[in-house]
Structure 1
Amino acid sequence: MGLLEKAGKKKDDDVSKKAATKAKKAAKPVKTAKAKAKAPKPVKEKKTREPRERKERAPRVMPDEFQLAGRAAKGARRLVDFIVTYAGILALLGYTAIGSNFNPTLLLLGALVPLTLNMIILPMKTNRTVGMFLTRSRFVNSKGNHPHWTHQFLSNLTGFFLLAGLALLLMGGGSITDDTTKSAGTQFLIIGALFLLIPLADYVVTKLRKANGENQNMYDAIYGCWYVVAERADTGESSRWMSRLESLGDWGEKKGWSGSADDDEDAESND
């Protein structure tokens, strides 16, 4: 019996020790989290932007050192540029219109050579056309520089739109009477009318600018340039083809195709 009592007593002691350790753990004070006060972030001061001073735009007027080209120079330039640019194409169209049966590919390529030369290459390289070399004239903007070469390209397209518009109207008028070609004729009439709107707009803008005292057409007003008298450029010995182009102006002067608007006024006053 003594052994059983000792074993029971030991068991009771173990249970009491476990209960005591649990009580100690439960009695441990809970650590309170200390709230750390965060320092306020400094507020960045916004930089005040100073208002930008608007640059005053210089008025778009023709520089005083240039003179407007006369009526003879304008007419001769338009005629010469039209012939150089479109003569080959018009001849080809006229030859095919009479019913000639041939392959026009080579002739068309040949007709495109002077067109490309006068509308793209010369304006890009020299800012002038054959007609401008012949009349010794040029275009100048308000800064005294040449306008972009696309000005010459678009100006030369006016004749193309006029011819193409009239041709399409004639073709559409002849096709609209037949039921089988009525749809195509209607399309020709619409496209032709749209083409003719561009020369019409150029004509209206030219009249409006002239009424306001500016001698400009639609493209001149868009690019801010004027058609003025040019002086013979010193080409030197390095460029023979430029010398030949400049020599066209000498022949144009003999024909009376050059001169300024002031010369026209003087001639009218003398008459």
Structure 2
Amino acid sequence: MGLLEKAGKMQTDEPKAAKKKAEKKVAEPKAARKPRKERRAKKERTPRPKRERKARVPRTMPEGYESAGKAAKFARRLVDTIVTYGALFGTLGTFAMVDSDFTIFWIASLALMLVNIAVLPWKTNRSVGMFLTRTRFINWKGNHPHWSHQVLRNLTTMFVMASIIGIAIGAGGNVSGEMNWTTIGIGVAIGLIPVSNYIFTKIRLANGQDQNMWDTMYGAWLVVGAKDESESGGRWMSRLESLGDWGEKRGWAGADTEEDDAVDSEGDD
């Protein structure tokens, strides 16, 4: 009986093995690689035409203008200093001696200063001193320089004051008695601006150019102007223009005459 059972089992195992062999998965064929896209042909760039360099215009005073005379330059500087800082210095001196409320005076003096150094140059390209002496600033193109030129030019006195005050406050020390080197450094840095302007002006004068540091930066010259006969400015403009008539009577307008040059040369000898 044992042999017959073994023979029966062998017969039943053979079809199972055949089934397992038949169940083996057939390897799927690999998918063919997609062909690479052809690169687009590069477009030929047309060479750009070279820009022609413009001829550099020398920064010299344009023709057709006459440099303002020494009297006109001195009068303009004096009048602008008085108009810009006169009320401020007066208020400061009175404030130091009198114990009172000077708020209105501070506001009025600062407003007058801003009008002469910023508002008038912005609106008319001139200051009170320039109206009085009938002078104008022009650049190498024959146009008015940007109004910020006159603002920087008229702030020299303010830079000197700020430098002195900063150094004095820093040297006075703080509560512990030590000097405040930060405040001193700021005061010295501000003071370098007018010092640089002074040195630059002397160098330019030695080279025959009557310009300071700000004039050179903007390429500007103070020249003789003419009375504006137009009535577009209104009553205030007519009053400012009338200052030029008074300045001409005092000899504060126009260029240096040959007689003035002769007197200057005799004085130099």
- TM category (shorter chain) comes to 0.7 to 0.9
Give the corresponding residue for 1:212: 207
CA contact (8 A) 2:67 2:255 kept: yes
Give the corresponding residue for 1:62: 61
Gaps in structure 1 of 5+ consecutive residues: 1-7
Q: Using the alignment, how far apart are the partners of 1:190 and 1:248 within structure 2?
A: 43
Alignment of 1:83-162 (within 5 A): 83-98=82-97, 100-162=98-160
Give the corresponding residue for 2:243: 248
Cα displacement string for residues 12-38 of structure 1 (whole angstroms, at most 9, x for unaligned residues): 8xx59x859938985xx9646445544
Q: Using the alignment, how far apart are the partners of 2:102 and 2:79 within structure 1?
A: 25
Measured at CA, do residues 113 and 33 of structure 1 come closer, stay the same or move farther in structure 2, by a change above 3 Å? Answer: closer
Give the corresponding residue for 1:80: 79
Cα displacement string for residues 179-205 of structure 1 (whole angstroms, at most 9, x for unaligned residues): 965636x77755544443222211111
SS across alignment from 1:183: coil
CA contact (8 A) 1:229 1:259 kept: yes
Measured at CA, do residues 40 and 95 of structure 1 come closer, stay the same or move farther in structure 2, by a change above 3 Å? Answer: same
Task: Specify which of 164, 178, 183 is matched with residue 179 of structure 2.
Answer: 183
Q: Using the alignment, how far apart are the partners of 2:94 and 2:37 within structure 1?
A: 94
Cα displacement string for residues 201-227 of structure 1 (whole angstroms, at most 9, x for unaligned residues): 111111111222222111101111111
Q: Using the alignment, how far apart are the partners of 1:119 and 1:246 within structure 2?
A: 18
Deviates more, 1:227-236 or 1:192-201: 192-201
Task: Kindly state the Cα deviation for residue 123 of structure 1 after the two structures are TM-superposed.
Answer: 0.8
Instruction: Tell me, yes or no, if structure 1 residue 199 matches structure 2 residue 194.
Output: yes
Aligned Cα root-mean-square deviation (Å): 3.4
Residue identity matched to 1:125: K
Aligned length: 253
Measured at CA, do residues 237 and 152 of structure 1 come closer, stay the same or move farther in structure 2, by a change above 3 Å? Answer: closer
Measured at CA, do residues 198 and 20 of structure 1 come closer, stay the same or move farther in structure 2, by a change above 3 Å? Answer: closer
Task: Specify which of 224, 227, 232 is matched with residue 222 of structure 2.
Answer: 227
TM-score by length of 1: 0.79
CA contact (8 A) 1:133 1:249 kept: yes
SS across alignment from 1:209: helix
Measured at CA, do residues 198 and 238 of structure 1 come closer, stay the same or move farther in structure 2, by a change above 3 Å? Answer: closer
Task: Kindly state the Cα deviation for residue 234 of structure 1 after the two structures are TM-superposed.
Answer: 2.1
Task: Specify which of 262, 265, 268 is matched with residue 261 of structure 2.
Answer: 268
Give the corresponding residue for 2:253: 258
Measured at CA, do residues 25 and 96 of structure 1 come closer, stay the same or move farther in structure 2, by a change above 3 Å? Answer: closer
Q: Using the alignment, how far apart are the partners of 1:163 and 1:32 within structure 2?
A: 90
Cα displacement string for residues 157-179 of structure 1 (whole angstroms, at most 9, x for unaligned residues): 00222344445666777x47x99
CA contact (8 A) 2:170 2:179 kept: no
Measured at CA, do residues 168 and 39 of structure 1 come closer, stay the same or move farther in structure 2, by a change above 3 Å? Answer: closer
Q: Using the alignment, how far apart are the partners of 1:179 and 1:122 within structure 2?
A: 44
Q: Using the alignment, how far apart are the partners of 1:121 and 1:212 within structure 2?
A: 34
Give the corresponding residue for 1:41: 39
CA contact (8 A) 1:76 1:135 kept: yes
Task: Kindly state the Cα deviation for residue 45 of structure 1 after the two structures are TM-superposed.
Answer: 3.6
Measured at CA, do residues 235 and 22 of structure 1 come closer, stay the same or move farther in structure 2, by a change above 3 Å? Answer: same
Gaps in structure 2 of 5+ consecutive residues: 1-7
Residue identity matched to 2:245: D
Matched residues, percent identical? 43
